[in-house]
Amino acid sequence: MTKKKVLFSDMTLRDGSQSLWAMKMTYGMHQVVASEIDQAGFDYVDLPVNAVNFKMWVRFFQEDPWLISQQFKEKFTRTKTMFPVLERIDLLGEAEPRAVVKRWYDLLVESAGATRHYMMCNSRNELDRYYPWVIPAVRERGLEFSPCICFYPSPRTTDEYYANLTRRLVEEYQPDQLWLKDAGGLLSLDRIRTLLPAIQKEAKGIPIELHTHGMSTYQGLVVVEAMKMGIDGVHTCIPPLASGSSHVSVFNAMHNARMLGLDHNITNVEALEVVEERLMRIAELEDLPIGKPLEYDHGVYSHQIPGGVISNLKSQLTQLGIGDKLDEVLDEVVRIIEDLGHPIMITPASQFIVSQAAVNVATGERYKAVLDSMIETALGVWGWEDAGVPWMDPNIRDRFLSQPNTRLLRKKYERTKEIGEQEGSVEELRKQYGLTGVSEKEFFMHHVMNGDAELKKIQPPKTYYTGKEPLALLLKELSKHQDVSRLQLRKGNSVFDFRRN
C-alpha cells in the first residue's frame, strides 16, 4: 500500500525573512543559500519578488532588485518558484492601469522565472473586486494559481463562511491549489478539526496547503493534526528563519511526518543543514534574530497581529524611540480592531492598525492624529464586508470621515478606482513620466521608487563567504585586516603558516 505523501514548500527567503528579520535579507544572503535550497527537494520556493521587497533593497541596502531577482532564476533550476500577485504594483501605493500591472508581472516572471502566483481572496473582498480580471491575466500567462483562503477568528468567519468561500473559488476559478493561510498563527486544534474538513469537502480534490505562523505556539500541533487529516502540503522554513513568529521548521515537520507514517518530498537533508549553518553565521555576523519557539501568549488571540508584521512593528517602535511601549501598542491594537468592526488582520489592514496604535500611544490620546489609512478604511477603499466597514463603531467612523483630509482622500479613491478599471498602456504612463527612452526595468523602478533619487545610490551588493572559497581569496581578505598578524591552518600532517612582517 502506497503511503500518503505530504509536500513541503519553503518560505524561508520571503515569509521567514519578513517574519523574523523585517525583510533585511540582501543579495549576498540569498546568494550563499539559494542553490542549496534548490537541491533540498521542496515542492515550491516562495520568492521575495514584489514591490515592497524591491523598495527595501533600494532604500535600505542600495542594492539592485533586478540583480537579486535574476539571481533567483539562475539559482533555482530544479525547484519551482512562486510569488504573490496583486491588483496593483504596490499594494499601498497608487493604482495603475491594468496593462501596466500585467507588464510588471511579466517582467518579474521573466526575471525570476516563477511559475506559480498566489493571491488573497477574502481580506479585501478581492474575490468580487479583482479576481474577475487578475486571474484571467494570470491564466493567460500560463501560470499556476493558488488563492489564499485567509483564516481569521471573528464572529462572522464561521466554518460555513469558509466552506462557501471555497465552493465559490472552485466553481468560478478552478484553482491549481488552495492555501489555508493562517497569517496570525491563530488556528487551534479544535478549529482545524472542523475547518479543514469543511474546506476539503468543497475543494473537490484540489490540493490544499497549510500556511500557518507560530504566534499562538499551537503551530506544531496544528501542522500534525492537518497532516493526520490529509493536508496535501505544508509551508515550512529553515532555521534560524523558522519558529518564533515564522513558519514551522522543515526539520520538525519532516520528523513529525515520519512519526505519522507519512512520506515527504525532502530528499537532501545535508543541503538543508548547510543552509542552516550559513544563515546562523549571517545572523551572528549581522546581529539578526534567531527564531525560537515562543512561550504561550494568550494575547495573540486578542491583538491577532500576523507573524509577518510583528517583527516590523518591533523594529519601527525602536526607530521611533518607543520600543518599551510594545505592550501598550498591543493593547491599543485590540481596541482598534473592535472599533473597526473586526477586519481580517492581514495586509494591509494589519499594517494600518498597528501604525494607528503606535500613533495613539506615542501621542498619548486615542485618534488625536488620524492616519489617512484609517479614513480610507472608513471610505471602503480597502474592502467592505471583509474589511469590517458595516460593523465599524459608528462614532469612530464619523470621527474618521470628519477629518479635514477626507474630501481629498475620497476624490483620490474615486480617481484610483477609475484608473484601476482602465486597460491603459505602459507607453502612456511612460510619457507621463517623460521616460520614453529608458528600458522597461528602469522605468518600472522609477515608478516603484517614485523617482530616481534613491536609484542613483545603488551600489555593488555585499557578499558573504560560504567557507568553500580558494585559499588565495582568504589571504586576500585577511590582508585587509591589519590586526591579524599570524594565521595557521592545519589538516592532517600538512601545516600552512601565514605571518605578516
Quick check: helix, strand or coil at residue 409? helix
Copy the grid coordinates of residue 334.
485590540
Q: Is the pLDDT score of 473 beyond 60? A: no
Write down the pLDDT at residue 479: 67
Residue 493 pLDDT level (bands cut at 50, 70, 90): confident
CA atoms within 13 A on the CB side of 456: 4
Tell me which residue of 396, 314, 297, 391 sits closest to 18, measured CA to CA: 314
Write down the pLDDT at residue 223: 98
Residue 93 pLDDT level (bands cut at 50, 70, 90): confident
Q: Is the pLDDT score of 1 beyond 60? A: no
Rounded Cα distance between 378 and 393, Å, is 10
Q: Is the pLDDT score of 289 beyond 70? A: yes
Q: Is the pLDDT score of 454 beyond 70? A: yes
The CATH architecture annotation of domain 5-286 reads Alpha-Beta Barrel (3.20)
Residue 501 pLDDT level (bands cut at 50, 70, 90): low
The C-alpha cell 491549489 sits at 177
Element holding 100 (H helix, E strand): helix 98-112
Q: Residue 47 is which amino acid?
A: L
**Distance of alpha carbon 316 from the chain centroid:** 17
Q: Is the pLDDT score of 332 beyond 90? A: yes
- Cα distances from 87 to residues 101, 129, 134, 328, in angstroms, run 7, 9, 6, 35
Least confidently predicted of 46-55, 160-169, 294-303, 478-487 = 478-487
What's the CATH number of domain 300-420, 1.10.10.10, 1.10.472.90, 2.60.40.10, 3.10.580.10?
1.10.472.90
Quick check: helix, strand or coil at residue 249? strand
Q: Where are the domains of the chain?
A: 5-286, 300-420
Write down the pLDDT at residue 243: 96
Task: Indicate the average pLDDT of the chain.
Answer: 92
More confident residue, 468 or 385: 385
What percentage of residues in the chain have a pLDDT greater than 90?
78
Tell me which residue of 436, 340, 415 sits closest to 383, measured CA to CA: 340
Residue 478 pLDDT level (bands cut at 50, 70, 90): low
Q: Is the pLDDT score of 475 beyond 90? A: no
Check for a shared fold between 5-286 and 300-420.
no
What percentage of residues in the chain have a pLDDT greater than 70?
95
Chain segment 164-220, per-residue pLDDT in tens: 999 999 999 999 999 999 998 999 999 999 999 999 999 999 999 999 999 888 999
Tell me which residue of 234, 189, 240, 244 sits closest to 212, measured CA to CA: 234
Rounded Cα distance between 53 and 69, Å, is 10
Tell me which residue of 104, 152, 147 sits closest to 127, measured CA to CA: 147
Rounded Cα distance between 278 and 270, Å, is 12
Least confidently predicted of 212-221, 296-305, 414-423 = 296-305
Write down the pLDDT at residue 424: 95
Helices and strands, number each (H, E), in the chain:
23, 12
